[in-house]
Amino acid sequence: MLTITNLRLKIGEMRILNGVNFSVAPGEKLGIIGPNGSGKTTLFNCISGFNIAQTGKIVFRNRDITHLAPSKRAGLGIGRVFQNFGIFREMTVMENIQLALEANHRSVIFPWSKRNRQNKEKSLEFLATVGLDNRADEKAGSLSGGQMRLLEITRAIAFGAELFLLDEPTAGVSPKMKVQIEHSLKKLHDLNKTVLIIEHDINFIQQLCDRIIVLDLGRVMLDGSSEEVRNDPRLQEIYFGTNGHGAPEHSEGQPRIAAAV
């Protein structure tokens, strides 16, 4: 499904990605963890096209997408859930879903058209799956943080993405909402979608993913099953800096990992 080979990215004098290599099979759920600043979000930016790597190659469904524009990559089936909420707050909840349907070859030219009516009905169906159909006409900005996440994940499903890039989908949401998000993500499993998920909470990621990679200093340091990675002593080194880098700088990512390891 996705193969990343020797991906390197330097922004200014900072080497963000330093030769990333891994591949993901269709339907696989891959968790990505690593201290803050390890290059996780930048890796997602490279896959979705917001950053273009200086060297290396990204192949998605047998097509080299390394230099493709973000909108073209999205058109090939790469969906993204952003770390800092990618919903359109000024639009209604339903419009967020409508846009996903319309952007994916169902654009509406006349508001009175049958397609527009169908898109609205379909949007409501998608919203009903996460219990947001009763808030369809409200502004998306009025939703709680967790509901925004649900909306964003639902939007990516409505868009018809095959590969989901989820950047900390449970960050800043209540424990109750976290359970709902987890349910929503399990749906991706049922739909046999391929998922790459960045998370700090290793317990959460272990429930969802078949495999975990640990990123540090822009490189894949560990790659294996959740159990293997969790029991690998190098994980503690990476997070606690016993290999000579990082501990104080990576404070935000530590506590949850530390508790979980």
Partner 1 sequence: MDYLIHLAILVGIYLILAQSFNIVFGLGRMFNLAHIAVYAIGAYTTALLSTNLQMSFWICIPASMIISALFALLIGAISFKLDHDYFAIGSLAFSSVVTAVLINWKSLTRGVLGITGIPRPEVLGIDFSDNTNFLFLLSIFVAAVLISVGIIFKITFARCLRAQAEHSHAARSLGVNLVRLRTNAFIISSAYAGLAGAFFSYYINYIDPSSFGLHEMVFVLSIVIIGKPGSFWGVTAATFFLVLLPEPLRFLSISPSILGPMRQLLYSLILFGVVFWKRKTLFPVERSV
Residue among 82, 240, 256, 261 that touches partner 1 (CB under 8 A)? 82
Residue 43 found at the interface with partner 1 (CB under 8 A): no
Examine residue 155 and tell whether it contacts partner 1 (CB under 8 A). yes
By CB under 8 A, is residue 121 in contact with partner 1? no
Minimum Å gap between C-beta 70 and partner 1 is 4
Residue 174, token pair as written in the block: 């209540």
Give the CA angle between residues 33, 63, 56 to the nearest 5°: 55
Site map 10..39 versus partner 1, x via CB under 8 A:
------------------------------
The stretches of the chain forming alpha helices (DSSP H) are: 40-48, 70-76, 93-103, 114-129, 145-159, 175-190, 202-208, 226-231, 233-240, 254-260
CB of 172 vs partner 1, minimal distance in Å? 15
Q: Among 35, 18, 15, which residue's Cα sits nearest to residue 238?
A: 35
Residue 18 beta carbon to partner 1: minimum distance, rounded to whole angstroms: 20
To the nearest 10°, the Cα dihedral for 240, 242, 246, 250?
0
The footprint of partner 1 on this chain (CB under 8 A) covers a number of residues equal to 39
SS3 (DSSP) at 86:
coil
100 binds partner 1 (CB under 8 A): yes
Q: Compute the least distance from the CB of residue 41 to partner 1, in Å.
A: 7
Which strand ranges, in their side-by-side order, compose the sheet holding 63-64?
A: 14-24, 2-11, 55-60, 63-64
How far lies 137's CA from each of 23, 149, 261, in Å?
A: 41, 17, 43
Task: Using the rule CB under 8 A, give the single segment among 29-37, 108-116, 183-191, 227-235 that binds partner 1.
Answer: 108-116
Does 168 contact partner 1 by CB under 8 A?
no
Residue type, 24: V
What is the contact surface with partner 1 in residues (CB under 8 A)?
A: 41, 45, 48-50, 69-72, 74-75, 78-80, 82-91, 95, 98-100, 102-104, 107-111, 116, 155, 159
